[in-house]
Amino acid sequence: MSRKSLVEDTIDEFGEVVGSWDGTFHSAGVAVAGAVVVVASVTSDDKLENTINGEGRLNVLPGLWCDLLSAHLRVATHMTSGGVSGAFGEQVVLVQILHRLSLSCTRWILPVFYLLNHTLLVLAFQLPEAEQQECARLLNKSVTICLTDRQLLRESRKWGAYRMMAMLFRVYFKLDQLNLCGNVLRAVGAADLPGAERYPKAHLVEFKYLLGRYYFVNGEYSRSEAELLVAFEHCPVDAFHNKQLILHYLIPLRVLLRGLRPSGELLKRYGLDHSFYVSALAALKSGDLSQYQELITSSEGTLLRLGTFLLWEKLILFGWRNLVRKIFLLAGSNSRMQLTTLPTAVGLSVDEIACYIANLIERGLVRGYISQEKSTLVLSQKDPFPITSLLK
- Answer with the one of 314, 341, 370 that is the final residue of a domain: 314
Counting Cβ atoms within 10 Å, is residue 292 exposed (0-12), middle (13-18) or buried (19+)?
buried
Average pLDDT (131-142) is 98
Segments forming the whole domain that contains residue 132: 3-189
Phi/psi at 368 (5° precision): 155, -165
279 & 147 share domain: no
Residue among 153, 167, 151 at smallest CA distance from 102 = 151
Helix, strand, coil fractions of the chain, as percent rounded to 5: 70, 5, 25
Q: Which of 172, 189, 206 is the C-terminal boundary of a domain? A: 189
| Residues 40 and 175 grouped into a single domain | yes
151 and 53 in one domain? yes
Q: What is the C-alpha separation between 382 and 211, in angstroms, rounded? A: 41
pLDDT of residue 343: 61
Residue 355 belongs to domain with CATH number: 1.10.10.10
CATH number for position 113 = 1.25.40
3-state class (DSSP) for residue 263: coil
Together in a domain, 309 and 340: no
The last residue of a domain, from among 166, 189, 212: 189
The proportion of the chain whose per-residue pLDDT surpasses 90, expressed as a percent, equals 51
Q: Mean pLDDT for the chain?
A: 83
213-251 per-position pLDDT tens digit: 999 999 999 999 999 999 999 999 889 999 999 999 999
- Residues 343, 295: one domain? no
User: Tell me, what's the pLDDT at 6?
Assistant: 41
Burial 72-100 (b: 16+ CB within 10 A, else e): bbbbbbbbeeeebebbbbbbbbbbebbbe
The whole-angstrom separation of Cα 102 and Cα 322 is 59
Q: What are the b/e assignments for 149-168, b being 16+ CB within 10 Å?
A: beeeeebbbbbbbbbbbbbb
Phi, psi for residue 87 in degrees, rounded to 5: -65, -40
How many domains is the chain partitioned into structurally? 3
Same domain? 47 vs 118: yes
Flag whether pLDDT at 25 surpasses 50.
no
Q: How confident is the model at residue 12 (pLDDT cuts 50, 70, 90)?
A: low
Q: Is the residue at 287 inside a domain?
A: yes
Q: What angle do CA 86, 87, 92 make, to 5 degrees?
A: 100
Collect all residues with Cβ–Cβ distance below 8 Å to 123 and sequence separation of at least 6.
84, 87, 88, 91, 131, 135
Q: What is the pLDDT of residue 235?
A: 94
What pLDDT, in 10s, does the model give residues 269-287? 998 887 789 999 999 999 9
If you average pLDDT over residues 5-11, what whole number do you get? 47
Residue 233 lies in a domain: no
**Helix 161-175 vs helix 201-217: crossing angle, to nearest 10:** 30
